[in-house]
Amino acid sequence: MSRRGRLRRALRPIALVVSALLLSLSVATWYTTLHRFRPFKIELEVPPLSPASPPFTMLQLSVGSSNVFAQVMRSSSYRTTRWEFHVNRYLPGILFNPYPDFNLRLPSCSYHAVAGTRFYRAELPLWLPTLAFGLCTAWLGFATSRDVRRQWRDRRGRCTKCNYDLSGLTPLPTGAPAPCPECGTPR
């Protein structure tokens, strides 16, 4: 087996654990935000980086209502001279939603301008990363179990494909081990 194949097989169980953790985090976030409109919001205010750029840029990231929102606001009317970072955490009881919206919409991007201020907004529904992490976890689980099964069979002198007992087979005249008589898989 090549060095790359051995490395891939060694890293696959680690990737499976990381994928399962990301899946559980994604499911927990989605479940939590079903009943709350905006659990938290992070804002970063950026002063002008160059004379050609607008005097103010604000980046917002908020998670809530089964979505992740990212918004960039660029304004020429509001001025700031220093970097500011805000984290707003809303009280869970105030914004409780008794009718959860599962929000099976598609991702979207939008742009609008109002009085010298430009807004760029991207919205990612939380079902999308949950589905992606779920598919990755399922695929990695299947591939890892297949590799473990093949290694187990190889160590016990069995065919890695059909589990036929290969002990007692005479090698080929060239000195190579005999292929599996059941399925023809080379050893």
Least confident of 18-27, 49-58, 123-132: 49-58
Tell me, what's the pLDDT at 93?
47
In a domain? residue 108: yes
* Number of domains comprising the chain: 1
In a domain? residue 10: no
Residue 148 has pLDDT above 80, yes or no: yes
Segment 152-173 shows an average pLDDT of 87
112, with CB counted inside 10 A (0-12, 13-18, 19+), is: exposed
Segment 139-149 shows an average pLDDT of 89
**Most confident among 24-28, 39-43, 62-66, 114-118 (mean pLDDT):** 24-28
* Mean pLDDT score across all residues of the chain: 76
In a domain? residue 80: yes
pLDDT band at 138 (very low <50, low <70, confident <90, very high): very high
Residue 24 has pLDDT above 80, yes or no: yes
H or E element, residue 22: helix 3-33
Tell me, what's the pLDDT at 101?
57
pLDDT band at 41 (very low <50, low <70, confident <90, very high): confident
In a domain? residue 17: no
In a domain? residue 44: yes
Range of the domain at 114: 37-127
In a domain? residue 170: no
pLDDT tens digits along 47-103? 666 666 656 677 777 776 667 777 887 776 665 556 666 666 554 444 555 555 555
CA gap 138, 57 in Å, rounded: 41
CA gap 154, 166 in Å, rounded: 10
pTM of the model: 0.61
In a domain? residue 120: yes
- Beta strand 40-46 with 56-64 is antiparallel
In a domain? residue 86: yes
